[in-house]
Amino acid sequence: MQTTELQRPSGEKKIDSKMRVTDVHWYENEISKNITKLSLSNCNVNQEVLNNLSKYLKMEECLVNELVLDRINLSNLNYLCCLTPDTKVKKLWLRFCQLKDKGVNNLLVILDETSRNTQLNSLYLDCNSITCKGAKQIAQVLRTNRTLKSLSLARNLIKDEGAFALVSVLSTFQLNDYETNWKSKQEQQRNRLLEYLTDILSQKLKEKTISSNDSNNNDVLSSIEVANLKQRAESMIVPHTHPYLTGQLLKSGLSYHSPGNFKIAYLNISYNQFSSNILNVIEQIIQYQQKVCVVKEGLQNLKIEGFDMKQIERINKLIEGKLRQENRSKKFR
C-alpha cells in the first residue's frame, strides 16, 4: 500500500511512495496510479484544489480509498464533492478542520442511509469544537447508518446530553413518530408495487392458459398459482437494505424498537466535557451487547481517556470478556 502526502510549498518532504509534490495545486499526472491513501494534511487547500481532487477521485483507475484532510480549514469549503458515490473513499480524516456543528450537519448527507450515498466506514472528527448539538446529529444518523465501523470524536466539546445520545444508539431504542411514518410509507409503496406486478403476471398467465386451451375458458387461478406469482413478483423487487425495513425491528403495541447499532466497532470519545455518569451508561450498553450481539458485532475498541482509570479498566475488561467469548464460540463452530 502506498501513501502520498501533498506538503506545503515551503517544505518538500520525502514520502512513502518516494514521490515529491512541490505545489498544493492538483496535478493528477503526478499521482501514482496505485496510491490508496492520499493526504493533503496541513496544506493551503482552496475550493479549486478540492474540485480537481474530486475529478481525480471519480476516475475509474483511481484507487484512493483513504483521504486525509487534517488541519485544513474546511469551514467554508465544499469538501463533500470528494465523497460522492462514484468515488472509492471509505476512510476519511477531518481532524482540526474547524467544522463545528455546522460542518457535522453537512456530513449527514453522506452518512444518511436513506440517501444510499453512504460509503464511509471510518470517520475521524477529532478537535473540531463539536458540541452536544453536533453529537446529537451524528447520533440521529447512526440510528440507521450501518456502514460506519469506526468513529472518532476525541477532544471536542461534547457534554452529557450529547454523549448520552451518541452511545444510546448502540443499545435498543424506540422509533420516533417520523421514523414510524416513514417506515409505513415505504412498506405501503412496496406492497402496491407487489400487487401491481402480481396482477400483470396473473393476466399474462391467464392469457397464456386461454390461448393454449380455448375449450377451457376458466380464468380462475389456483391458490398454488397465485402463491407462485407473488413469489415471482417479490423476486423482481430490489430487496430493502434499510435497517427499519429488513425485519430487524421488534414491535410492541403500535411502537417499533430497534435492537441498536451493532456495526460501530471502534469509538473514540476521549477528552470531551461529559461526566463520569456516561461511563455508567456505557457499561450497561456493553453488557447489553454481550447478551444480544452475534460474533464480530458490537464495540470492539472503546477510547474514553480523561476519566478515572479504574472505571475505564472495568469497561475495557467488559469488552475483553466479550472478545474472549466470541473467540470461544469460533472454536466450537
pLDDT tens-digit series, residues 302-319: 999 988 788 888 888 888
pLDDT at 324 over 60: yes
Query: Would you state the pLDDT for residue 93?
Result: 98
pLDDT at 109 over 80: yes
Choose between 15 and 241: higher pLDDT.
241
Please say whether the dihedral angle defined by the alpha carbons of residues 231, 237, 240 and 244, taken in this order, is positive or negative.
negative
Query: Would you state the pLDDT for residue 82?
Result: 92
Choose between 257 and 30: higher pLDDT.
257
Give whichever of 65-79, 189-203, 213-227, 244-258 has the largest mean pLDDT: 65-79
Query: Would you state the pLDDT for residue 14?
Result: 28
Query: Would you state the pLDDT for residue 283?
Result: 93
The average pLDDT across 196-206 equals 80
Choose between 240 and 325: higher pLDDT.
240
Query: What is the tens place of the pLDDT at every residue in 254-274?
Result: 899 999 999 999 999 999 999
Confidence tier at 203 by pLDDT (50, 70, 90) = confident
pLDDT at 77 over 50: yes
Contacts of 248 (CB under 8 A, 6+ apart): 258, 259
Query: Would you state the pLDDT for residue 311?
Result: 80
The average pLDDT across 164-190 equals 94
Amino acid at 261: N
